Structure 1
Amino acid sequence: MFGCLNKIYNFVFQSALFMENKNYQEDLLHIRKMMEKSSRFISLSGISGVFAGLFALAGAVYVYFLFQKNGVDYFEATVKYYEKDIVIHLILVAFLIMVLAVISGAYFTIRKSKKNNLTIWDSTTKKLLVNFAIPLAIGGFFCAGLVYHHLHGLLAPTTLIFYGLALFNAGNYTYSDVKYLGLCEISLGIISVFFLGYGLFFWAIGFGVLHIVYGIVMHKKYK
């Protein structure tokens, strides 16, 4: 009889201990999620990355045919110096792609925030934007200097490297995956320095293909 009571006691005790540990783990998980929400911007949408990549690829294809129309053999593999009109055209295309990417990114991010009842504008969002904007702005001024001195062959590597630095910097305030994307952009930019005649090709991979892959991964991982 005492053996039976002892078994019952052990069963009840172990069950209670299991439930306590389970509740403890659930509490830790809840605290961790709350801390993550307060310290990191988690409303980034993977779909916005896919759209940004598609816009970039469309822009790269347009520029390629623009070169053909103006008698520029892109795959000639030489450092190219473009006429002023072509340079202005390229800048306008890049600006349009950036605007479309920002608009789509804002739309899908806001939609995700509303769906998950998350605050989109807080101190974390401000820190993320500041840390992203500073390297990007510096890179923009540097690119303006390259255009001024007609060093067009360095534009693609420079934009990839500074964009990668901006992503890596912003990764401190959002998903760590953003840092990995930044490192990939930086690496691609450094490689493209040694292949200056193929800047558009590397630009399409960096801003197009990598964004699409990153967007799909992010969508599946955090949906």
Structure 2
Amino acid sequence: MKLKVLYMNQQQDQLATLHEIRNIMDRSSRFISLSGLSGIAAGVSALLGAAVVKWYLVTHNINYNQTLGRGLTNDNLLFLVAVAAFVFILALCTATYFTARNAKKNSHRVWDSKTERMLVNLFIPIAAGGAFCAILIYHDLLYLVAPVMLIFYGCGLLNASKYTLSDIRYLGLLEIIIGLVASFFVGYGLFAWTLGFGVLHIVYGALVYFKYER
């Protein structure tokens, strides 16, 4: 009986050791310095951008829900594109800052092969989505721009999740779902954009922060 108990304990120790080795190998192949604060900052940036767009539409008497973006002047389009670009740049800068700070705090390298693989897999779908959005704008199909941005961004997150925190996979799936739903309810593009890029980022960032950084 004692031999059986000893054998079972040895098996459990071996399984625990294998599990620990697997975790170490998994962490060594993934970029784990992503900060939850970067997600929160990106979400706040998106909410600010959405608020500016809403203010612009109201002050210029543009009812997006009725017109679906049709009939916008070149100045209107330029303003909307500028706001989207500003939000993207601001989110990218804050993400870089908080991620670098988190990496330094944990004595990790900010840039290595893991970072490169993650960014390549993230930005290929995003770049394709950006090009497709430009095509939609060219053909005056503005009501599909917000859903397409969400869908391609979600695909980018799913693609990058293989090389970073697995939690980002769920954010990607939710972004895709919201984008697909918004493709049917095209009058709610701005709301979907606010929900996907704003609220979801804040929730995701808070969860990651309390799970890994507290």
2:69 counterpart letter in structure 1: K
Mapped to 1, the partners of 2:138 and 2:151 lie a distance apart of 19
What is the total number of aligned residue pairs between the two structures? 212
1:177 to 167, 170, 185: 167
- For the aligned residues, what is the CA RMSD? 2.2
Alignment partner of 1:79 is 2:78: no
Alignment partner of 1:66 is 2:56: yes
Aligned to 1:218: 208
Aligned to 1:203: 193
C-alpha contact (below 8 Å) 1:77/1:198 kept by paired residues:
no
Q: Which runs of 5+ in 2 are unaligned?
A: none
Aligned to 1:108: 98
Mapped to 2, the partners of 1:122 and 1:54 lie a distance apart of 28
Aligned to 1:37: 27
1:25 Cα deviation after fit: 6.0
Mapped to 2, the partners of 1:80 and 1:23 lie a distance apart of 63
Residue pairs, 1:19-30, within 5 angstroms:
24=14, 27-30=17-20
Mapped to 2, the partners of 1:104 and 1:152 lie a distance apart of 28
Alignment partner of 1:157 is 2:132: no
Aligned to 2:177: 187
C-alpha contact (below 8 Å) 1:124/1:173 kept by paired residues:
yes
Q: Which runs of 5+ in 1 are unaligned?
A: 1-9
Q: TM-score, normalised by structure 1?
A: 0.87
| Larger Cα-atom Rg | 1
Kindly tell me: are residues 176 and 77 of structure 1, through their superposed partners in 2, closer, same or farther at Cα, counting changes over 3 Å?
farther
Structure 1 segments (4+ residues) deviating >3 Å: 20-30
1:110 counterpart letter in structure 2: A
Deviation per residue, 1:96-119 (Å, 9 max, x gap): 111111111011111111111112
Aligned to 2:112: 122
Deviation per residue, 1:149-206 (Å, 9 max, x gap): 1111111011001101111110111111111111100010000011111111100000
1:53 to 22, 25, 43: 43
Mapped to 2, the partners of 1:219 and 1:29 lie a distance apart of 25
Aligned to 1:141: 131
Q: TM-score, normalised by structure 2?
A: 0.90
C-alpha contact (below 8 Å) 1:80/1:197 kept by paired residues:
no
Deviation per residue, 1:104-135 (Å, 9 max, x gap): 10111111111111122221111111111111
1:37 Cα deviation after fit: 2.4
Mapped to 2, the partners of 1:78 and 1:194 lie a distance apart of 16
